[in-house]
Structure 1
Amino acid sequence: MLPVVGGIVVIWTIFQILNPTFLSSTNLVNLSFDMVPVGVLALGIVCVLLAGQIDLSVGSVSGVSAAITAVVMVKNEQPMWLAVLAAVAAGCLIGWLYGQVLNRFGVPSFVVTLGGLLAFLGVQLWLLRGQNAINLPYDSTLVKFAQLWFVPHWMAYALAVVAAGGFLATGWVRARTRRRAGLSSSSPQWLVMQSLLLLAGLLLVVYYLNRTRGVAWMFVFFVALVLVTHYVLSRTKFGRSIYAVGGNAEASRRAGINVRRVYTSAFVLCSGLAAVGGILAASRLAAANQSTGTGDVNLNAIAAAVIGGTSLFGGRGSAIAALLGVLVIQSISSGLTLLNLDSSYRFMITGAVLLIAVGLDSFARRSRQAHGRG
């Protein structure tokens, strides 16, 4: 992840030199809002890539979920919780269908999800029935959550302390477990130093964002989602199975892992998170329209996962990749917008960054194979 962090520092430095408002508290708050919908989609892509598969339809699935939310809430006048539940359930069902087609008929995930991209775009247009957009009520909880709700200043500082404390406790338990197993582990002094550095960084971020509007609840939700997914992938049997299948599906099958179930679960996770991302995107705009989830949403989600460090070859990466990758992409988009440059430059720069990331990943993979490590 260090090259990605270094890339973020370089990108921020360049844009700050070109436009001094880039690193202003106001712009960073806007950045924290805008990165969440695509970031949630990228988090789902990470789960599928780790299993050695791909999903090209997350944008269309997010668009369908946004349309379902708007239709149930506005046109059918149902409660918000029912609309959200219906949208997420539809996303999970789509992922389950992908898994069944892949497992039962052997159709490559590339083809299955490419068909889903087109099919569910049609479903989205059918749900909207010729309407350009369905506006969500501005006084609804969804819109307030995505536009107006911020963590109280004192609570933001408290969350920073809790996060640093949780990092220290987790590291301490892991180090003790490794020492009991006779493995090398981090020293207590190093763990404390890491925790203090993390605490100082988080407190600085909270202080800087609190200079204007503060820390958005939607951003806190995204970070919490990343941490939960990271825990599931790195600390549970299910997560280890995903890594194993992505690394070598046949060896995993012979080791007793239900490969088909892992594939289905990965697609359900991906499509379910895509549905959540679509709901957040519609809430951010206070509307679900025919362009929700279209355009470059698919490519941005995949690019964010890959740029963040998740391998296209499967079996390597982490949930943190979604956070870092989408930060890179949204930083480029925000910086070019402040410079009044059109989207053509954003496409070219994002494409170049993606190509570099995939190239480095391919080079690292060949290097590991040459040295017998992978």
Structure 2
Amino acid sequence: MNNTTTDIRPVAVDLRDERLQVRGGVRGTARGLVDRLRSGDLVAFPVVAGLIIIWTVLDTSNPTFLSSANLGNLAMESVPVGVMALGIVCVLLVGQIDLSVGSVSGLAAAGMAVLFVNQGWPWPVAVLAALTSGALIGWFYAQVFNRLGVPTFVITLAGLLSFLGIQLGVLGDRGSINIPFDSTLVHFAQTAYVPAWLSYLLALGAATGHFLRGRAHARERSREGLSAHPLRLIALRSGALLALLEFAVWYLNRARGIGWMYVAFVALVVSVHYVLSRTKWGRALYAVGGNAEAARRAGINVRRVYTAALVGCTTLAALGGVLAAARLASANQSSGGGDVNLNAIAAAVIGGASLFGGRGTAFSALLGITVIQSISSGLTLLSLNSAYRFAVTGAVLLLAVALDSVARRSRVSHGRG
């Protein structure tokens, strides 16, 4: 990685965008966006375009795919692995990897089920214990990485095998623990849906929050003497977001509506996005992923950043495992197994998180898991077996990494130019 170019490019792009916005307001902003695309800053447009193509093809093959009932189910099914992918994004931002999220999620699900069902603990305490176990695993990974210098690839690969064995031991001879259907956990993951009237208010609140945040950011930049998005552009964006969200809410409410679990997932994504983009800790993640040595010389505690990223990843993996068990009303030997691990990593990469570190957002997890779950749902409706799903998902993953590599070379070339 050309670290010098990585440090200079965002500044150059921001200055160029500012000049264009001063010249033409909305037109200048559009030109700035095109210029960013040409320089290799692809943002999320390839993912969104790919998702539109996938949905179009699948709906053409089976009109049931874009039905409100199927999309609502698709959203709920995407949450557990999506939460794990959100943790993977944090690790990828610092240029590391976690191959054990599937095993960690399975162990957390097994531990929660044993404490809640077999030991009779209250479900909030059982869930908290599962999340704590996930955090401790991430802390252990960080100690081995920071103190011994063992690559995270090796550490987490060992964790994948070890925690799978511990999961089997926790479940015991029965191999499966059923979670009561009348429990709050199962209700939340399966049958808890937002009332129609409230879903419209939530959409309005999201668009209003987007407008207020954009206006506040613009005023802050103006006070600092920097150019800012004009108020009419902010209002236009917020209005478009409101129209999109209200239409989505109306369409999903034609069936069961929007599940509370999916609303919680989106809220978690937005919260992590705020932390990554607006806090000192978030900026430190990007700095370490872009150039760890430069970040160290700038006074950032690099070891602490690595620790935070790994702890965040394994904690979210544990949360994803708990939600998966609640969704299935069961924790068993296959929890966290199969393609869960690879799908979580693939979702983060497909959504736009770079394997080279320093690039990606929390929305990468949301976009990526939507793509993967759409492929899975569409091929299931077409009565095609898993072989096709694996092949298509692999092809999409390869395409995403290829686009990232091309964009990275383009940024390097643009920076040198």
Whether the TM-score (by the shorter chain) exceeds 0.5 is: yes
Instruction: Render the CA deviation track for 1:92-150: whole Å, top value 9, x for unaligned.
Output: 00000000000000000000000000000001000001223100011100000000000
Residue matched to 2:189: 146
Cα distance between partner residues in 1 of 2:358 and 2:126: 35
> Is the Cα–Cα contact under 8 Å of residues 168 and 175 in structure 2 kept in the other structure?
no
Cα distance between partner residues in 2 of 1:64 and 1:162: 37
1:361 aligned residue (386, 400, 404)? 404
Residue matched to 2:56: 13
2:372 aligned residue (313, 329, 336)? 329
Cα distance between partner residues in 2 of 1:78 and 1:169: 43
Residue matched to 2:305: 262
> Is the Cα–Cα contact under 8 Å of residues 47 and 351 in structure 2 kept in the other structure?
yes
Residue matched to 2:161: 118
For residue 288 of structure 1, give the secondary structure of its aligned residue in structure 2: strand
Q: TM-score if structure 2 supplies the norm length?
A: 0.89
For residue 298 of structure 1, give the secondary structure of its aligned residue in structure 2: helix
Matched, 1:64 2:107: yes
Cα distance between partner residues in 2 of 1:366 and 1:97: 35
Residue matched to 1:182: 225
Residue matched to 1:73: 116
Q: Provide the identity percentage.
A: 65
Letter of the structure 1 residue corresponding to residue 247 of structure 2: L
Any gaps of 5 or more consecutive residues in structure 1? none
For residue 212 of structure 1, give the secondary structure of its aligned residue in structure 2: coil
Any gaps of 5 or more consecutive residues in structure 2? 1-43
Cα distance between partner residues in 1 of 2:155 and 2:346: 20
Matched, 1:165 2:208: yes
**Cα-Cα RMSD:** 0.9
Instruction: Render the CA deviation track for 1:173-230: whole Å, top value 9, x for unaligned.
Output: 1111112222222110011011010000000000011111111000000000000000
For residue 177 of structure 2, give the secondary structure of its aligned residue in structure 1: strand
Residue matched to 1:96: 139
Letter of the structure 2 residue corresponding to residue 280 of structure 1: L
Q: What displacement does 1:373 show?
A: 6.5
Q: What displacement does 1:75 show?
A: 0.9
Letter of the structure 2 residue corresponding to residue 127 of structure 1: V
For residue 331 of structure 2, give the secondary structure of its aligned residue in structure 1: strand
Residue matched to 1:225: 268
> Is the Cα–Cα contact under 8 Å of residues 142 and 306 in structure 2 kept in the other structure?
yes
Cα distance between partner residues in 2 of 1:356 and 1:180: 42
Cα distance between partner residues in 2 of 1:323 and 1:237: 23
Q: TM-score if structure 1 supplies the norm length?
A: 0.99
For residue 415 of structure 2, give the secondary structure of its aligned residue in structure 1: coil
Cα distance between partner residues in 2 of 1:250 and 1:20: 53
Cα distance between partner residues in 2 of 1:81 and 1:329: 30
Higher mean alpha-carbon deviation, 177-186 vs 107-116, is at 177-186
Residue matched to 1:48: 91
Letter of the structure 2 residue corresponding to residue 98 of structure 1: Y
Letter of the structure 2 residue corresponding to residue 333 of structure 1: S
Residue matched to 2:66: 23
Structure 2 CA distance for partners of 1:187 and 1:295, relative to 1, 3 Å:
same
1:296-307 alignment runs, 5 A limit: 296-307=339-350
